[in-house]
Amino acid sequence: MEHFEDNETDTGLRNVNELADFFTITVLKRDVFSETHLGFFADDRESRVIRRIVTTSPWWSRPLAWYLAKREIRSLKKLEGIKGVPQLIAVDRQGLYRSWTEGTPLHLARPDTPEFYRSAHKILRNLRRLGITHNDLAKPQNWLMAPGGQAGLIDFQLASIHKGRGRLYQYFAYEDFRHLIKQKNNFAPDLITSTEQRILKRRSWPSNLWLATSKKVYNFFTRTIFNWSDGEGTEDRLQVYGPQIRKLLTENTSIHDIALSLYSLPAKGVGLYAFVETDRLDEKTIRTLLHGHKIELIQPVQTLPRHRDGSIREDVLQLIAMNQMTELDNLLAREPELINIVKPIAAKRLNFSDRQISKTEKK
């Protein structure tokens, strides 16, 4: 399967031959199934567009990559005009174009207002009306909080379109709803109703069976083989190893300063990401100074971003380390004086995964 072919009428899509040139601003995500680029068309530089390129996947994962892309394409076609979800723009032999959904991922926005969850429920009701289930709402990064406080929903690669309302549909629809309530319980427990509390306690039997039998196999393939993950924990490596690593590196006079951040490893736990301020040393040379201490990612930088008092902007570097480019863009819009320093660092970042660090991983 080398490209997407569909006999359905694409009346709502633009002809790819008539699209203006697409320019990439940044790569948001890269894995064995696709690359996701944020950019714009040459004839509309103000409107942001997502370009998912499936043909960047290796040969061995490409059939599955196109299978996932086709699920997203068909779901987005059916969701045309629905508020709060991406709108499909065009499909070509390399992948797809869709609208950019502005917002902050749930785990960072931490919404605690009834308005957000009412709008999220409305999105799920619209999906249900069309016979669509999302099937991946356990991941908080698939929910966004828009600047106006409303919910947005992205990433439809695992979505299903159901022709009927049978048991399979009812199960997936129930799980979508239950996972939204779980997110609500995480970030706004005071808003949970008694009915929602009962739903949280009542896991469906397929979910119990999945947890008991198949989840470990799924985690092995997604985290180890396919470089995907959802997140579980390990120790705080910053606290345990950070001071000694900092001491070893700053003893070298060519290193002016260092900032350490955490990011999520594909398989399990967290890795260390070192931003090393130096104008002479490359990554390989810096590693020789560690004397056996392990740092997964080392990025030499000319200048580290700082507060006015000279302290390092660890919040900015953490966003780069965790590949949170949307949040970084929002921050730079508020603090444009950082752009000249931060943009070159972000452009050369070493982590392109969107996996998040869970609370247990930070402990």
pLDDT at site 110:
84
CATH 3.30.300.30 domain locations along the chain: 237-362
Per CATH, the architecture of 16-99 is what?
2-Layer Sandwich (3.30)
Predicted confidence at residue 9, as pLDDT, reads 46
- DSSP SS3 for 299: strand
Tokens of 231: 């997140």
Residue-level pLDDT at 134: 97
Q: Say what the pLDDT of residue 271 is.
A: 80
Residue 213 has a pLDDT of 57
Distance CA 232, CA 229 (A): 9
| pLDDT reported for residue 300 | 97
Predicted local confidence at residue 207, as pLDDT: 62
Q: What angle is formed at CA 105 by the lines to CA 99 and CA 107, rounded to 5 degrees?
A: 165
Per-residue pLDDT at 295: 92
Candidates 3.40.50.300, 3.30.300.30, 3.20.20.70, 3.40.50.740; CATH matching 237-362: 3.30.300.30
pLDDT at 32: 87
Q: Are 1 and 75 in contact (CB under 8 A)?
A: no
Cβ-in-10-Å burial (0-12, 13-18, 19+) of 242 comes to middle
* pLDDT for residue 5: 47
Q: Which residues of the chain have pLDDT under 70?
A: 1-11, 204-237, 239, 266-270, 354-363
Say if CB 73 and CB 296 are below 8 A apart. Answer: no
Dihedral angle at the C-alpha atoms of 334, 339, 343, 346, nearest 10 degrees? -40
CATH 1.10.510 is the classification of domain 104-225? yes
Annotate 50-77 with DSSP letters as a single string: EEEEGGGS-TTTHHHHHHHHHHHHHHHH
Whether the Cβ atoms of residue 105 and residue 116 lie closer than 8 Å to each other: no
292 conformational bin, left if phi > 0, alpha if psi -120 to 50, beta if neither: left
Question: CA of 19: how far to CAs of 8, 16, 97, 211, 224, in Å?
Answer: 20, 5, 10, 45, 38
Residue ranges, comma separated, of all CATH 1.10.510 domains in the chain are 104-225
